[in-house]
A and B are shown apart, each in its own frame.
Chain A
């Protein structure tokens, strides 16, 4: 599909494609990181759904507060790409965990497709190392200062606590109503993301998560943005 007429959204089946491509690429590029996995939608016992619906899950992701400030301003390329950590920095974090246990926050991230907005939506919850759930207020002050302001000031991202669409429990959610707009903008302005051939579905999720990840301190390694050389 031609980018200029694209509205920034994607279909449910494209989301599935994108999700599988994203998962596989993430595993390939970041073997040290916990992998994303595709979780099929829980089915009611009395209905047999034939649709392949599900969501992406990344659980027990450890994000260290003390490291955030250091990496804020680093940029590997001189373009608009969001800040990304290279592989080595995650390995360093692993050794830091022992010394700074109190600063460790765990996150569960779920990426769920919204049929209403036709975009992915980030749901997350956060807890400390002893499993105690944390409140958003506790972590908000710890989120990377600069990037949070940029996103929070725009109407594009705000965080609320709502019901997880499949799990029937309260999760934090990054509101999707601006997503299609800034996805379109992202693809239009970044030549490496597609250009004239159209919207590459596989890159949708990497790009999307690089944006929303900033609001919650989830960094996406640069290599996720490289197009396949096959």
Chain B
């Protein structure tokens, strides 16, 4: 015999109901057939022998009904009616099926049906939009990769590689005439490595050598040199410093040349370059070029990462 009140007395108020979830303000019912989801006398599917719900399966909505006549047959207790996909037609179907049923159940069924259709629509819309796929990172793999990366970094010797590459480019002449380096060093460089642009450098060599030889020769006639050439500040220096060995002269001259040129260049560049020049300025750079490397330990407790698709 179905005594709804007795059942409700037991499970609702006094003793245990396995579907009930109590919170501070309200109780919820976890039974799948519950129409509102709350734990109430009128919403409890166990404590009402005449009951109806709407449930959704793979996008299809069904109306479930339970009557007291079938209470003895648990397997056939719920009558399942497929509702049409058209919203209005489905509402009419609900009305038709629950025609003489209590107002409360009819109302709540329609409300539930509305909510279900709304969320189905939203689901369908979301699929069309951009979906975020979560790609899990395996901690082990991440750790291994990190280690490999560290080793690769050590093996790479980046600074050396970059410097080598830059020097290569300088030797091959990709920089054109921006940097003028004196003959002596060119000689040395040539001896050490065979370069394609050897001929050009040799020509330059010869020219510069001739100039210096001429300069050396003019040493005897001091006054003429002072009058004729403007650019021979270096020559003056050379004349004054020593006349012993050509090599010494050349060295001094070349170093002075280099310094002056570097100074001029540096200043020009400092003027020209904007924005990202370091705070130290060109002066510090000229004195001492250093490479800053910062190291920092970062721990990554990576478990999931998000990748847009």
| A and B co-occur in one complex | no
B interface residues, Cβ below 8 angstroms from A: none
A interface residues, Cβ below 8 angstroms from B: none
